[in-house]
Amino acid sequence: MAIKDRIKAILGNIWWKRLSNKYTLATGFFIIWMAFVDSNSMLIQMQLEAEVRALEDGIEFYQKELEDISRQLDELASDPEKLEKFAREQHWMHRPGEHIILVQPADKP
């Protein structure tokens, strides 16, 4: 039993010496400081990266919407029938002398 206790004591002392080394402690403190405490910490950088990704997704969405609206505008500018249909359906416009009657579908039970 004495040999096992001595081996445990020696191994324990070696790890204690390595972990209590001033360079090891300074490096550990630096890593913890940079990862969690600093104003430019790893956590804040991950949050900012997520915000950037969300904004880039928004940019892509609005670019697609802009392309769709530009295509629709070109179609409306080139075809007077489509322009009239759009004006009647979207903005409820009518010709002079016409009356608009709105019919709501009956609610189904």
Are residue 85 and residue 44 in the same domain, yes or no?
Answer: yes
62 within domain boundaries: yes
Are residue 4 and residue 26 in the same domain, yes or no?
Answer: yes
- pTM (predicted TM-score): 0.51
Domain encompassing residue 81: 40-92
- Provide the Cα torsion 52, 55, 60, 64; round to 10°: 180
The number of domains in the chain is: 2
Are residue 28 and residue 47 in the same domain, yes or no?
Answer: no
pLDDT digits (tens, 9 = 90+) for 13-58: 777 677 778 898 899 999 888 888 888 888 888 999 999 999 999 9
Alpha helix segments (H runs only) across the chain: 2-19, 22-32, 42-78, 80-91
107 within domain boundaries: no
Are residue 1 and residue 34 in the same domain, yes or no?
Answer: yes
Rounded to whole angstroms, the maximal C-alpha distance in the chain is 111
Token pair 């295509």 is found at 71
